A and B are shown apart, each in its own frame.
Chain A
Amino acid sequence: MSGRDSMQQPLVKPIDVAALRRDFPVLDLKVKDKPLIFLDNAASSQMPKQVIERWVKYRSAQHANIHRAVHYLSETATAEYEAARRKVQAFLNAREERECIFTSGTTDGINLVAHGYGRKFFAAGDEIILTTLEHHSNIVPWQMVAEEKGAKIRVVPVNDRGELLVDEYRKLFSRNTRFVAMTHVSNALGTINPVKEMVAIAHEHGVPVLVDGAQAAPHLKVDVQDLDCDFYAFSGHKVCGPTGIGVLYGKAALLEKMQPFKGGGDMILSVTFDKTTYAQIPAKFEAGTPPIGEAITLGAALDYLSGIGLDRIAAHETDLLDYATDRFNRLPGVRLIGTAEKKAAVLSFAVEGVHPHDVGSLLNDDGVAIRTGHHCAQPVMQRFKVPATCRASFAFYNTTDEVDALVASIGRVQKLFA
């Protein structure tokens, strides 16, 4: 973030990065005899020992199926699973815990809404607004339901910095607009979108908004009541938790109107071959045996992040981003893609004359892990006329020394291709 005025930031106590790094066993790993420098946190973040230990505890002494049997283990697992839901509620500042549904991840949460809401309420001629910055997982489910219903997709454009054009967004609304789905933070560029403002605009038109929070939840304090969004989805494995678990927040009134996404056990009140009565939320949307241990472990991950403080995490990551942006701006032959005023700690970049895939392979020789490719955001690549980018994405456990190592490694790539 260029031009950040630290005087205007709320003062937070800096995190002790060295101490926090000791929580992460993987950070001791050597790759090709060099210390691992993990800069692919936007794809999946690493797990601290406190979270790993929670997983082991569940697996060692608390596992049974939930919401069913009356025996000790089942009661324990059920209590811990529901306790994890309350942790999610607190993390998002949701009004009620029943508004927090466990899913398998962000993609699953978006599909739940596309099917549960879209298939019930969309009709031919209706319009769904998406943005250029969406991950494929917030495009394809809407295209599928739009195709089925004869609805249309409208897209919010971005400027050359990778910022959404809010005035253009306003103009997309018509009496046919039924839904808005938008990302909080762009996975490909790092842009932090003005979600609160955009939700308010949608609500002026009586249109509900789903926010893809996969890239926001690990990096900034999310308050769904303050944003006033109708749905908010995020993934466990990007917030130092496990894969296979995620959360969909939805306003209770909307969730109650929706049809279930999946049918099965645990989501019913009663079943006969003539009629099934669905359970109340959240059970209505949690068919089958959920990933119980994953949910409980996610709860521990949210405790871990909250224990550090999302404001302190954001402050450290902003410092890292400022430092890295400055270093990159002074690197000849390297172009940053995505230079939004408000950015999460993501650097998407192109090295002149070197394909991103070659950059990624060669950086790996130096133990530096970045992501290369289209980042499941092909419309972003098309907008910026690049086939792919290199992406370094930071977490609170990354350091300026690691930024220096990244920059040095890029220098070696340029030398090889000179």
Chain B
Amino acid sequence: MDSRALYQEMILEHNKKPRNWGMLADATHKAEGLNPLCGDHIHLSLKLNGGQVEAVGFEGEACAICKASASMMTVAVKGKSRTDAELMVQEFRDMTTGKLDTHAPHHLGRLTVFAGVSDLPTRVKCAILPWHTLHAAFAGSDTASTE
């Protein structure tokens, strides 16, 4: 497919005005994500309270796919339990690698806008990086990489 099809209004808009931009001063968990191939580099901070994602913030230097994915991820996981957020990490990974049936029930909601990335092997890593980073932050490791 044309990559142009991936650059839908929602992705372009989140790229231009990313939500939850900036690191939390009172973060309980942090991680850094790096995609050495194209140079996507994000920092993610979380405030967990009793197993709930109370607050989340990110910043970094990244392509539109990565930045929009991070922005929409922060919106999606805010207020969720860690368990639910981890389930979304798994579903998002499965979707972007073509392993999720998006017509069957899932928890990704509007994030299915990234489903098309599974046809663009060079861009899968961009979309997935924020989710790897979230997983790393939960797990208490400092860094995530797509390599």
A interface residues (Cβ-Cβ under 8 A, vs B): 32, 354-358, 361-362, 364-365, 372-374, 381, 387-388, 416-417
Contacts and interface: CB of A to CB of B under 8 A. Distances in A.
Nearest to B38: A357
Of the listed residues A354, A355, A356, the one surrounded by the most CB atoms of chain B closer than 10 A to its CB is: A355
Interface stretch (B1-9, B17-25, B69-77, B83-91): B1-9
Contact of B12 (A361, A365, A416): A416
Contacts of B123: 357, 361
A364 B3 contact: yes
Of the listed residues B6, B41, B64, the one surrounded by the most CB atoms of chain A closer than 10 A to its CB is: B64
B3 A356 contact: no
A139 to B, nearest CB: 15
Nearest to B123: A361
A411 to B, nearest CB: 14
30 contacts: A32-B2, A354-B64, A355-B63, A355-B67, A356-B38, A356-B63, A357-B38, A357-B63, A357-B65, A357-B126, A358-B63, A358-B64, A358-B65, A361-B3, A361-B6, A361-B120, A361-B122, A362-B4, A364-B3, A365-B3, A372-B38, A373-B37, A373-B38, A374-B39, A381-B39, A387-B61, A388-B38, A416-B12, A417-B12, A417-B15
B7 to A, nearest CB: 6
Contacts of B4: 362, 365, 416
Of the listed residues A361, A365, A381, the one surrounded by the most CB atoms of chain B closer than 10 A to its CB is: A361
B64 A365 contact: no
Given A355-B67, A358-B65, 4 more contacts: A362-B7, A373-B39, A374-B39, A388-B38
Contacts of A417: 12, 15, 64
- The 10 A-B residue pairs whose C-beta atoms are closest, nearest first, are A355-B63, A357-B63, A361-B3, A388-B39, A357-B38, A387-B39, A387-B61, A365-B2, A358-B64, A358-B63
